[in-house]
Chain A
Amino acid sequence: MGKVMLEVNHLKTKYVTRFHEDVYAVDDVSLKIEEGKSLGIAGESGCGKSTLALSLIGYYFAPLHYMSGDIIVDGVKISAMKPDEVRKKILGNEVAYIPQAAMNALNPTMKIIRFIEDVMKAHNIKMTKKEVYDMARERFADLGLPEDVLNKHAVELSGGMKQRTVIAISTILSPKVLIADEPSSALDVTSQKMVIRMMRELMEKGYIKSMIFITHELPLLYNVTDDIMVMYAGQIVERGTAKEMVFDPIHPYSKGLMGSIIVPESGVRDHKLTAIPGTPPNLKNPPKGCRFADRCKYATPTCSALAPDMKEFDNGRTYRCLMSVRKIREVYENGGSAEVETEFD
Chain B
Amino acid sequence: MADQQKSKQNLTDRKPCLSGRGVTKVFGVGNKAMTAVDHVDFDFNEGDFVSIVGESGSGKTTLSKMLLGLISVTEGEIEFQGKPRDISSGAKRKEYWKNIQPIFQDPFASYNMFYKIDAVLDDCLNMRGFKSAPEEEKVRLKTEACSFVNLKYAELTNKYPFELSGGQMQRLMIARIFLLKPKILMADEPTSMIDACSRATILDMLLKLRDEVNMTVIFITHDIGLAYYISDKVYIMEHGKFVESGPAETVIINPQADYTKRLINDVPKIYEKWDLDTVARN
Q: List residues of A whose CB falls within 8 A of some B CB.
A: 44-46, 144-146, 159, 188-190, 192-194, 196-198, 200, 216-220, 222-223, 246, 256-257, 259-270, 272-277, 279
Contacts and interface: CB of A to CB of B under 8 A. Distances in A.
Contacts of B4: 269
B167 A45 contact: yes
A273 B207 CA distance: 12
Interface string B262-282: 111011111110101101111
B106 to A, nearest CB: 12
A268 B225 contact: yes
Nearest to B194: A45
10 contacts: A44-B196, A45-B195, A198-B281, A218-B196, A219-B269, A223-B269, A263-B268, A266-B253, A272-B1, A273-B200
Contacts, number: 125
A189 B268 CA distance: 8
Nearest to A184: B268
Contacts of B199: 260, 262
Interface string B1-27: 100100000000000000000000000
Contacts of B272: 265
A277 B194 CA distance: 15
Interface string B79-99: 000000000000000000000
Say whether chain B's binding surface is mostly helix, strand, loop, or mixed: helix
Interface of B: 1, 4, 55-56, 150, 165-168, 194-201, 203-204, 222-229, 248-249, 252-253, 262-264, 266-272, 274, 276-277, 279-282
B274 A257 contact: no
B276 A279 contact: no
Contacts of B222: 188-189
Contacts of A273: 200, 203-204, 229
A72 to B, nearest CB: 30
A243 B195 CA distance: 21
A264 B252 contact: yes
A264 B263 CA distance: 10
Contacts of A269: 1, 4, 228-229, 248-249
A250 to B, nearest CB: 17
Contacts of B267: 189, 219, 263-264
A101 B166 CA distance: 17
Contacts of B253: 266
Contacts of B223: 189, 262
A259 B200 CA distance: 9
B211 to A, nearest CB: 14
Contacts of B196: 44, 216-218, 257, 260-261
B279 A197 contact: yes
A265 B167 contact: no
Nearest to B197: A44
Contact of A275 (B197, B224, B274, B280): B197
A194 B279 contact: yes
A146 B281 CA distance: 10
